[in-house]
Amino acid sequence: MNETPSGHPSAVGRVAVVTGASSGIGRATVVELTRRGAQVLAVARRVDRLEELAAETGAVPHAGDLDSMEACEAVIEDARRRLGPVSVLVNNAAAGSSYDSSVVDLDPERWRWMLAVNLDAPMYLTRLAARDMVAGGWGRIVMVSSTSANIGEPASAAYCASKAGLLGLMRAAAVDLGVHGVTCNAVLPGWVRTEMSERSARRESEATGATVEQVWSRRAASSSGGRLATAEDVARVIGFLASDESAGVNGQAVTVAGSGLW
């Protein structure tokens, strides 16, 4: 396989869909995949940020929500129409734990909304994109889960459940699709300083009386390596899982949480 000037495996000719692309891990993933030569449909709600990302990377913007099957169908149809059959899907978009609450106080409507965004949408997108991948005999699906899938977080019942559900979906898809040359894996980021996690830091600050910076210092210390992962750290792992090099990796959950064990 050809390589880029930086020595990384080339993704020239691959069509990728990345959700939650306007900031944080999603944005870093678009940058990583376009650098590798992929044609990327960048999906998010913020039109202004998508336009900035398109100008920077050449990604094709798709503005919209992912809260219904019809919205997910529109994403895949747009990718096919503008770029071609989908061969890489990164399910990154999510509602964060800052919108969540304790299991005791959890509003059933909020529970249903968070699962619709965090779990239903990845299932719909995977179902649709996998058809292109199976037809082409090659594909890569990456679910962006969270260490919260394995470690309960306070006041985050729906978020933790949805992120754990992604792991079950990933493993089932890996079994169903592996025989067709399609892999499905997950990354589990620890604390990454994104807009989403900044909201939860502010909420924790208000609840505990600690400053926001103290909250982040404690989060960094929770990794045995004593550092926070960056969005770029996670994006590089996604880039590998989306490449030919990762052909032998299927049905795996990769933790990206600074350094050392989480």
What is the rounded CA–CA span in Å between residue 127 and residue 152? 28
DSSP H helices, 183-230, are 195-208, 212-221
pLDDT at 221 over 90: no
DSSP state of 244: G
CATH of domain 15-190+229-256: 3.40.50.720
Q: Give the model's confidence band at 101: pLDDT under 50 very low, under 70 low, under 90 confident, else very high.
A: confident
Q: What is the mean pLDDT of residues 32-49?
A: 97
Q: DSSP letter for 243, please.
A: S
Mean pLDDT over residues 157-180, rounded?
Answer: 96
- Give 261's pLDDT tier (boundaries 50, 70, 90): very low
Q: What is the pLDDT confidence band of residue 154, given thresholds at 50, 70 and 90?
A: confident
Catalytic site includes residue 124: no
Evaluate if residue 9 carries a pLDDT over 70: no
Q: Tell me what pLDDT residue 131 has.
A: 98
Q: Say if CB 36 and CB 240 are below 8 A apart.
A: no
Residue 170 makes CB contacts below 8 A (sequence gap 6+) with: 141, 143, 145, 184, 185, 186, 251, 253
Please, what sign has the CA dihedral across residues 95, 98, 104, 107?
negative
User: Which is it for the CA torsion 186, 241, 121, 196, positive or negative?
Assistant: positive
| List 124, 159, 240, 262, catalytic entry | 159
Quickly state the pLDDT bin for 196 (edges 50, 70, 90). Answer: low
Q: What is the pLDDT of residue 5?
A: 43
pLDDT at 97 over 70: no
Q: Concatenated DSSP letters for 66-108?
A: -SSHHHHHHHHHHHHHHT-S--EEEE-----GGG---TTT--H
Give the pLDDT band (50/70/90) at residue 201. Answer: low
What's the confidence (pLDDT) of residue 257? Answer: 82
- Domain residue limits, the chain: 15-190+229-256, 191-227
Instruction: Render pLDDT for 119-133 as a digit per residue (tens, 0 to 9).
Output: 999 999 999 999 999
The tokens describing 261, both together, are: 């064990």
